[in-house]
């Protein structure tokens, strides 16, 4: 393949990745995430390795080092990315994991437990028969339902994921 044609293919691939990143980030923003963390997360998700340095993120997203720093700080705090040292360097790199969504849901169980506790207190203090108490109780029951169903759903996901990986490995091999 000629060098010029390869560059054209690379440019189209970069444009496709950029379009995906901005579109997915916009959807995450609509769901409540701040814009810069959404863009950084989508960029990591769309990278082949799932690992990029701060400089690479800044270059790909055309954002400042400060913007990258703030975004990865937030994403690290909510366990959506992890920070690691680049081998043989003092530079950090940021990783999104293949099992990102599974891990995020698993960690949410503790959040749900805290919410349930607070909701239970709210129902008791407002009274189960008051309009607000009924609303809080319905939310409590919903979170309780999620707590009970989540482990089974995640186990089914692990089995399904493992099956998909085996099929992919079989097709590759």
Helix (H, G, I), strand (E, B) or coil at 115: helix
Asked: is 3-95 a CATH 1.10.10.10 domain? The reply is: yes
Tell whether the model's pLDDT for residue 2 goes beyond 70: no
Phi then psi for residue 28, to 5 deg, are -70, -35
pLDDT tier for residue 173 given thresholds of 50, 70 and 90: confident
What are the percentages of helix, strand and coil residues in the chain, rounded to 5? 75, 5, 20
**End-to-end distance of the chain based on CA atoms, in angstroms?**
26
Domain ranges of the chain: 3-95, 100-172
pLDDT in tens, 54-82: 999 999 999 999 999 999 999 988 888 99
């Amino acid at each position: 393949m000629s060098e010029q044609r390869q560059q054209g293919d690379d440019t189209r691939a970069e444009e496709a990745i950029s379009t995906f990143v901005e579109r997915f980030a916009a959807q995450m923003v609509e769901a409540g995430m701040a814009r810069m963390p959404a863009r950084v997360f989508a960029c990591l998700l769309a990278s082949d390795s799932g690992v990029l340095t701060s400089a690479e993120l800044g270059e790909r997203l055309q954002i400042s080092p400060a913007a990258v720093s703030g975004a990865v700080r937030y994403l690290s705090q909510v366990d959506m990315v992890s920070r690691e040292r680049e081998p043989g360097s003092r530079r950090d790199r940021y990783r999104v994991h293949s099992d990102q969504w599974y891990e995020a849901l698993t960690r949410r169980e503790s959040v749900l437990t805290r919410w349930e506790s607070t909701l239970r207190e709210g129902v008791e203090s407002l009274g189960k028969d008051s309009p607000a108490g009924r609303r809080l109780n319905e939310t409590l029951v919903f979170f309780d339902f999620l707590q009970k169903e989540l482990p089974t759903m995640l186990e089914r996901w692990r089995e399904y994921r493992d099956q998909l990986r085996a099929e992919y490995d079989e097709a590759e091999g």
